[in-house]
Structures are given as C-alpha cells and as structure tokens.
A and B are shown apart, each in its own frame.
Chain A
Amino acid sequence: MTDWSPIVEQHGPLVWQTVYRLLNHEADAHDCFQRVFLAALQLDQKERVRHWPALLKKLATARALDLLRCRYRHQACLQPLHEEGYVDSRLHHPSEHAIAGELADELRQALSELEPISAEIFYLASFEGWSYEAIAEQWGMTSNHVGVLINRTRMALRKKLHAHLPNTTAGEPT
C-alpha cells in the first residue's frame, strides 16, 4: 500500500504552486490541493504510478482549470481575493501592480474558456516547462500535434486577451 505521507510532503509544494497560481484564491487552492491528491489516490489504486511529479502536475492543472471554469461560469460563486501579495512583489508601482493583477486574471479567464485539453497542454508547456515529447506521451499524440495545438492555443488566447482591451483607437493621436 502506498505511503502517502512522504508523497504529499515531497510533491505537495509542486501541486500547491500550480493550483495557487491558477486559482489565486486561498480556499479554492486548499480544496483543489486535496482533490488532486484524492484523485491521485484513486489512480494509484487502479494502476502503478510511474512518475509522481508528472501525474500530480497534470492532475493539479486539470483540477485547477476545472475550478476556474466553474468560477467564471458562475461569476457569483467565488471571486478571487485581491489580497496582499497578489502580484509580483517586484512591481512596486500601484498602477503596475493593478495592471499585472488584471492581466493575470484575464489570462486565467481566457484559459478557462478554452477546450480543457488545450488549456492544460498550454499551461504545462508554458508554465511548467513540459517538453512537447512529454506532453505527447501523456496525451497519446505526436509532438507535431502538440506544437500545432499550442500554437493554436496561443492565437486563441491572444485573441481573447485583445478582446478585453478597451477601444483605444477613437481619439487616439495618429
């Protein structure tokens, strides 16, 4: 039987980092963290897990994105807490601080609006540094396919983010 204590202790920080970054909400991150490990437990009961960090990262990304989708689908449910330490502490200027927070939130929302698989793959490649080969192996596709998918996801995200921009053309000096 798997001894979970060292697994949670060793890989918990990895999971926490992923879920917190995506959710940016203390209570949601707590919930998601536990869901990830409970899902891992279920998988472990079915088959032997070969690589815990990869499995947990994948589960963490998927579960956090699930929660994000719920959040944005039901706006009234949970609003992220814009509390201290929300954005990079290196951005000291209040307006920069606010802009960065807003941008991060826009990206979270945009990710939640994508097809789950696209969002997961994009996140793992762009934020967790997964190689195309590793992703291809996990999802049973070719590296080329992964590349195409990520490229399309980038374009979709860019489009969504630009859609959030205020209309700055009118009245702008030419």
Chain B
Amino acid sequence: MNTPNHQPTPDRLDQAMHALRETRIPALPESLMASTVEAMNSRVNPVEPVSTTPLATRRRLSMARYFRFGSALAAMALLATLAGLLFITTPQASAWQDVVEQVKKASSVTFEEVQTNHLQPDFPTTRKNYVLGDLQRTDMLQFNNTFTILNQKTGEWLVINGSNKTYIKQTWSKPEDQRKMPKPDTFLSQLVKLSALPSTAAGEEKIDGVATRKIVIQNAKLGGYTGEMMLWYDAKTKLPVRIYHEVDDTFPKITRTLNNFQWNVPIDGKLFTPEIPREYVEDKR
C-alpha cells in the first residue's frame, strides 16, 4: 500500500466546481462595451420616425414589438406588397407583376418563416403562417400554444401567449386606438409603396425540383424591416416559392426566409377562431 491509496477520493463535484471557477477568462473587449452601449442607446432613442403621441404604456410597447416582430404582419406585408402592385398598372407587364397577378387570384396560402440574427445564427426563430382571405394566423413554433391572429378587415388582433398563459385583444376600430398605434392596414399601405420599387431579374434556379426564377428588390420594407428582398417564383404557376429578406436596419442584423409555400390549399377556419383556455388571463397592461 502506498500513500495515494490512503488519500480520500476527491469529490467530483468539488473538482468540477474548482475547474469551472478556475476557467481563464479573457479581458472584456472594449469594442463589446462600446457596441453594447450603442445598441442600448439605439433602443432608447430609436431611429424610426417618432410619433407625436407619447408611447407610455407597456402594452403599447408590446404591441409595437409585435408589429416589428410579428410575422403575421410580415406575411401581410408580403401579401400587401404583392397586392399593392395590382393597383399600379404599367404599360409593360413585368415578371413581378405576373407574380402579383397570380397572388391576387390565390384564396389561401401557408408558409414557414425562419428568422435568424447574425449574433446567433444557430438559434433561429421559426413560425408557421396561415393566410385565408383577410385572416392571418402565425404560430410561434418554439413556444407552446403561442400565436397571433389578425383580421385585416376588422382590425382585430388576438395574441395568445401559451408561455405566460395570457392573451391580448386589440382592435383598431376607434380613432384613438389608431392614434396610439397605426392600424395594421396602415402598416400595410406603407408597404404597398414597395410596388414602386424596381425589381431586377436574377436568374433561374431549381428549388425542390421546381424550376424557379429569381427577382431582387432593393430597400424592400417588410414588417418594419428594410433590406434586400429576393423572391423565387415558380416559372409555371408564377407563384412565390421562396422569399429571402436580408434586413440591414436592425441590431443584431436579421435575415428571414419564407419557405414551403402552399398556395390555394384548404385551411380549417377554426384555426382563426380559437377558444381561449379558461385559465388564460387577459393581459391589459
């Protein structure tokens, strides 16, 4: 027997804690501090046009976030963008207008959305969208029973948050509501202006065996984000197959890919009239 045999076995947890405690930590990069302060200041003093109406309540801030991040609106923005072109006719029909024409005829669409930011490219946000006429439902796939439903026609908006077991109802029927926050269609009409932007053809590609043509629109504002939008459409049906939106006016920078479009498929109407679970409480803040 030698001395080591008599030594008590060190506790593995204590050893691990020691190892973790002794992890060598590099100095905090000054550039990180500077960019953090910059990011915070940009949140405190947003660059976006500021409404004369003071934004005071948290509810309104929350709604603003939904506006910025809600893919329901992004999706509607997409449709509005496409639909917007219908109102502006030009003598020469472009490929983009052909796409819009087909979108106009569509009764429904479902698609998936993946949003990533450049700081965490491996942790995307994913959403599933259902559009049926004036109704739009967006399911946040990472969160249980969390989704938004928007009725463009009535201006009603329902947000169900399964994580907090809360829900929010918003209607833009009254003028004072609209002063607090622009009505969704106002937001859409803002995006309709995209139709004035030129589109350029960017070649042909095969996506999942489908022959597509690609067009690019610069400075496309969708869902409050501005950036380059690339759209691939089916060469036969002229309907969008994929949209990639690279946003350059946010920190962190984000990209969004709208994929797996299913056009003119039956969608269960019940999706848009969900029953709010009894235990959910209304968030009135």
Contact = CB atoms under 8 A, between A and B. Distances in A.
Contacts of A27: 119
Interface residues of A, number: 50
Given A38-B39, A108-B20, A46 B13 contact: no
Nearest to A2: B44
A1 B44 contact: yes
Interface stretch (A4-12, A113-121, A132-140, A143-151): A4-12
Interface stretch (B25-33, B87-95, B155-163, B185-193): B25-33
Interface string A7-45: 011001100110011001011001101100110010000
A13 B43 contact: no
Contacts of B40: 4, 8, 37-38, 41
B285 to A, nearest CB: 10
Contact of B19 (A4, A37, A104): A104
Interface of A is mostly: helix
A53 interface: no
Contacts of B16: 103-104, 106-107, 110, 157, 161
Interface residues of B, number: 32
B208 interface: no
A55 interface: no
Interface string B31-71: 01101110111011000000000000010000000000000
Interface string A96-114: 0001110110111010000
A38 B37 CA distance: 9
Contacts of A170: none
B33 A103 contact: no
B197 interface: no
A5 B36 CA distance: 9
Q: Which of A4, A85, A91, A165 has most chain B Cβ within 10 Å?
A: A4
A158 B12 contact: yes
A172 interface: no
Contacts of B36: 8, 12, 33-34, 37
B35 to A, nearest CB: 7
Contacts of B41: 4
B37 A5 contact: yes
A11 to B, nearest CB: 10
Contacts of B37: 4-5, 8
A20 B25 CA distance: 6
A21 B13 CA distance: 16
A78 B19 contact: no
A85 B58 contact: no
Contacts of B13: 107, 154, 157-158, 161
Contact of A101 (B17, B19, B119): B19
B20 A88 contact: no
Contacts of B58: 46
A157 to B, nearest CB: 5
B19 A74 contact: no
A30 B252 CA distance: 12
B66 to A, nearest CB: 15
B24 A85 contact: yes
B122 interface: yes
B123 A100 contact: no
Contacts of B15: 103
Contacts of A101: 19
B122 A77 contact: yes
A49 interface: no
A100 B16 CA distance: 7
Contacts of B35: 34
State the 5 A-B residue pairs at the shortest beta-carbon distance, nearest first: A88-B22, A107-B16, A104-B19, A16-B28, A100-B19
13 contacts: A4-B40, A16-B28, A21-B21, A21-B23, A38-B39, A89-B24, A103-B19, A104-B19, A104-B23, A107-B13, A126-B17, A127-B17, A158-B11
